[in-house]
Every structure is written in C-alpha cells, then in structure tokens.
Amino acid sequence: MGIAERAWAERALFLDNYQLTMAQLYFRHGIHESTAQFEHFTRSCPNYGNHQAGYCIAAGLEWLLDWMDEASITDADIEALRSQRTATGEQLFDDDFLSWLRANGSFDSLSLRAVPEGRVVHPNAPLTIVQGPLAIAQLLETSLLNHLNFQTLIATKASRMVEAARGRPVLEFGLRRSPEHAASAATRAALIGGADFSSNTGISKVLGVPPKGTHAHSMVQVFMALGEGELGAFRSYAKQYPDDCLLLVDTIDTLRSGVPNAITVFDELRSAGHKPVGVRLDSGDLAYLAIQSALLLDAAGHGETSITLSSGLDELSIFQILAQIDQEAPRYGLSAGQLINRLSFGVGSKLTASDGHPYLDGVYKLVALENQGEWRPAIKLSESPAKSQTPGDKDLIRVYDDRGRATADLLTVAGEELPDDFITLQHPIEHGVRRRLPNERVSAVESLLRDVYGHGKRVGEQSSLTQIRERRDRDIEKLDPGVRRLVNPHTYHVSLSPDLWDLKQRLITEARGTG
C-alpha cells in the first residue's frame, strides 16, 4: 500500500461514508449551508469492569485542530468519491455535489467552542460545540470523535494510575502494544493525564519531553550468549552510561543474580565517582521483590538508588502493591514511606490501550438547526431514556461549594442568567429530582467552554503541554475524594437548569406527537 496512500486516507476522507451521503442529501435539499449546531459529549465514564472512573480528563483537541487544518477536500478525494457506485451501478455522488464539495470542503466555515484540554470533565455535558454549515459540520463528526474519544480515554486512565502512584513518577512504556499509530496520541494523552515521561523517542521529541528507558532483557542475553553473563552485561552498560545506570535485574533470577550483580556494578560506579540510578523489576511479586531488593541495596549502602516496577501494571495493581508495601515493609524493618519514595512505575499496554474499557462512548449530536433565520432545537428520542439528548444551544457552568470543591456541572440555556438567591440543579432524566444550592454555599461558578476555532483559525492562546498538565492538577485538587476513588466512585452531578429541563420536555412531547 505505501505510507503515502495511508496518509491520504487519514486526511479528509477519514470519515464514515454516510457523512458524505447525508451531505449530498442536504445539498440536494438546499439545506447544506443552513447553520447547524452539534454537540460532542460522552455518555459515561469508562467502566473497567471491577473499577470505574469517576471523572474524565479532556484531551485531544489540539491534535484535532491540527488535523482540521490539513483535511480539506482535494482533487484526489473527489476522484475517489466519483468512483463510488450505487447498487444499480450508477455514480453515487453527483457531479454538482462533488463540485460544491471540492469548493467548500474545508472546515474554515465552522466555529468550535470546547472545554480546554487537561480539565476534569463529566458525562452528558458538552465537551465541544460545533457550529456551521450543516453539511460541513456533519462531515466533521467521525474525525472529531475519533480524535477526542481516544485521547480523553487515555488521559483518564493515566490520571487514575498517577493517583494510585501517590505522586511517584509514572513512565509510559506502551508503544509496542499500543494501538498501532495511535501510540503517538496515547503518549500525549498519558502526559496530559499526569504521566511524567514516555519511552517513545520520536513523539517525546515533538512534545518536548525527554524520552526515558533502561535496557531490555535481550541486552543481558547478548552478553550471556557471548559468555560474559549478567554481570558482564551490567558492567558494560554501566561503563557506557555511568550516570544513567538503571539495570533490569530479572533476566535470570532477581534476588539471587540480578540485584547482587547490580550491587557489584553500583559499588564500582560509586568508586569511580558516579551515582548509580537503580534497578528495574519486571516480573514476579513486585511488592515482595521491591522490599527484598531494597533490603539488599540498603545493606550494600545503596539506599539512594531507585526501584522501578513494571509488568502489566494498572491503577489497581499499583494501588495494591503500595498497600502491600505499607503492610509488609515494617515487618522487615523497612520504612514503607521511604521505600515508596524510591519507587517509579513503568506502565505499558494497560495504559495506552485503556485495559478494561478500550473506547470512550463520545457522541456528536445535532442540537439545533437554523431555518429561515430562526433556531430550532433538535432532539433524538431513543429506546433508552438515558440516550435522549438535551436539545438547544447551551452553556456549561461548574459550581464550586463553600469548601472550594466542584459540586456540580450545570447545563443552562445559552445566555440564561443564574438567579441571585440560589442555584437549582435539576436531575437530567428524573422529573422532580432536584437540589437547591443557596448562594452562600456557592464559592464560585465558572463557565467551562472557550472559543477555540473560527474562520479557519485557532482562537485564543494555545496552551503548552505544561499548562495543560497544570490544569489537570488544579481540577483534580478540587474534586471530592469520593469522585476520585478508583473503585465505585461517587457520581458527580451534571444537572440541568429548570429552563433547560422545560425545553427538553417540550421537545420530547412534540417529537412523540409528530414523529
């Protein structure tokens, strides 16, 4: 196939074919340039089976905008579309539509508002709002979801691992088992979610974060095959990288061979005036081996060295390892806190493939359409009430309680003023389930959506990766611990204003009547 053909396929035609057939239908009806508003939101946080996310971390917007910049319809795209056939063998896309598409097939005509990357976000609240010509906004659907669903998914998983790791470094090592070229996006999202470094050389350079790594078992095997054994391998590595000497100690036997050989080499490094980095444990009972390795290293006077743990780690296994160390370390005369303070975590596939829940159920729904100068809210009913969406142009407001903690996200009708005395938080589905928050119990309200794209250009200042990461840190601090809990988290409230609730009910009634 060739890389160039694939690159082509991932530009403007990186979409579901029905977006194009629908665009042609709108064109035929003369409504393709009517202004439409679509909303992107998730239906739920990832549920990993025996544990669940209580929040998500928004990510992927910057790369979506990069993609939009490059994804204008080209002649080659038009030729590809011209070759599609109907069931009866005729051209599926008519020439007049293709001419219009060639002339108008870019995203310059759209404007986007979005919750900035790195922010804590919740289901059923808009993360992105797209406004523009109906056909063009429709064409954006697939790729917008593709880009934002994935990075938000991975940033969320990373954030959980980072929380489980109690502030110790988390290194993303996933590339070999990451979902193919989505690995690049996974690395970026992992960093947004709070991971500290990645092993991925190329994308780390692009993102301005130095790549990290140790060595593989194969390095030890090579020196073993040459008759120099594990010790010979470690010595060679230390000689080449005397100040970056992190040794993988489980190729033969962690405690009987790996750690003792590492100690020999660390002694030699120390004598030569270097500071050994530490060891990496990649198999076996990592909590037990961490304690035993620490005992051996301490006894040899290498109490300053680090211990990196890897091998199928996820947030629950990190949590469990640390809990086990809390309990067990004192029995060996070790301070659990000190041991934990020398740990790092290498996480791979379970982060970059979001093990347990490998996709985010973000959707992109029409919420309003302009017709003859008048906005009409749009609705989709559903077999499942939870899937009935909230119509119309909206604002998204975060409400902070008197402790400064985020207590609810509130959807309002766009431009709606909040009352002076109290805020009413209406449950989005259950009639009559509402909570009133008097103003004295509200420390702040904050509008979450920002203008990010318009007239073919980014709007506002672009954030650096560091700024995005800081945003996450700040938002996590303001979450209730119950919402941050790894297992069975408290459900964060996303509520409707009474005005928005009334609009939704009216639309549902009308739709059932006129369907």
> Pattern 362-391, binding to a second copy, x per CB under 8 A?
x-xxx-xx-x----xxxxxxxxx--x----
As measured in angstroms, the least distance from the Cβ of 124 to a second copy is: 17
Nearer to a second copy, 37 or 426 (CB): 37
We find the least distance from the C-beta atom of residue 289 to a second copy, in angstroms, to be 8
Contact window for a second copy (CB under 8 A) among 199-207, 301-309, 322-330, 405-413: 199-207
Find the binder of a second copy among 104, 111, 131, 151 (CB under 8 A): 151
Q: Is 84 in the site for a second copy (CB under 8 A)?
A: yes
C-beta separation of 108 from 76 below 8 A: no
Decide: 68 and 109 in contact? Cβ < 8 Å.
no
**Residue 85 interacts with a second copy (CB under 8 A): yes or no:** yes
Residue nearer to a second copy on the CB measure, 355 or 499: 355
Instruction: For residues 473 and 458, give the distance between their C-alpha atoms in angstroms, rounded to a whole number.
Output: 25
Strand residue runs (E) in 94-181: 111-114, 120-121, 128-133, 170-172
450-454 and 111-114 strand pairing? antiparallel
Collapsed DSSP state (helix, strand, coil) of residue 210: coil
In this structure, the number of other CB atoms found within 10 A of the CB of residue 306 comes to 17
Q: Is 310 in the site for a second copy (CB under 8 A)?
A: no
Q: Assess contact for 390 and 505: CB atoms under 8 A.
A: no
User: Residues binding a second copy: what is the number (CB under 8 A)?
Assistant: 145
Contact 314/130 with Cβ under 8 angstroms?
A: no
Write each residue from 249 to 288 as x if it is in contact with a second copy (CB under 8 A), else as -, in one continuous string.
-xxxxx-xx-----------------x-x-----xx----
Q: Return the residue of 82, 217, 270, 450 that touches a second copy, per CB under 8 A.
A: 217
Is 505 among the residues that bind a second copy (CB under 8 A)? no
Closest CA to 195 of 118, 114, 269: 118
Cβ-contact 360, 153 below 8 angstroms: yes
Half-sphere exposure of 2 (CA within 13 A, CB side): 3
Verify binding: residue 20, a second copy, rule CB under 8 A: yes
Give the footprint of a second copy on residues 323-352 (CB under 8 A).
Answer: 349-350, 352
Give, as ranges, the residues between 98 and 137 that touch a second copy (CB under 8 A).
134
User: What element of type H or E holds 57?
Assistant: strand 56-57
Q: Are 444 and 14 in contact (CB under 8 A)?
A: no
**Cα separation, 8 vs 220, whole angstroms:** 42
Among the residue ranges 31-39, 112-120, 440-448, 492-500, the one whose residues contact a second copy (CB under 8 A): 31-39
Smaller CB distance to a second copy: residue 46 or 54? Answer: 46
Q: Which stretch binds a second copy (CB under 8 A): 18-26, 99-107, 397-405, 486-494?
A: 18-26
Do residues 188 and 81 touch, judged by C-beta distance below 8 A? Answer: no
One residue of 96, 359, 439, 456 binding a second copy per CB under 8 A = 359
Nearer to a second copy, 250 or 395 (CB): 250
Q: Which of residues 50 and 271 has its CB atom nearest to a second copy in the complex?
A: 50
CB of 337 within 8 A of CB of 331? no
Closest to a second copy by CB, 111 vs 354, is 354
Instruction: Supply angle C-alpha 156, 161, 166, rounded to 5.
Output: 130
Kindly state the smallest distance separating residue 454's Cβ from a second copy, in Å.
Answer: 20
Nearer to a second copy, 147 or 398 (CB): 147
Read off the tokens for 102.
């060639």
Using CB under 8 A, which residues numbered 426 to 455 contact a second copy? none
Instruction: Enumerate residues 225-244 that contact a second copy by CB under 8 A.
Output: 225-227, 229-230, 236-237, 240-241, 243-244
Residues in contact with 305: Cβ distance below 8 Å, sequence separation at least 6, in sequence order: 266, 276, 277, 278, 279, 297, 342
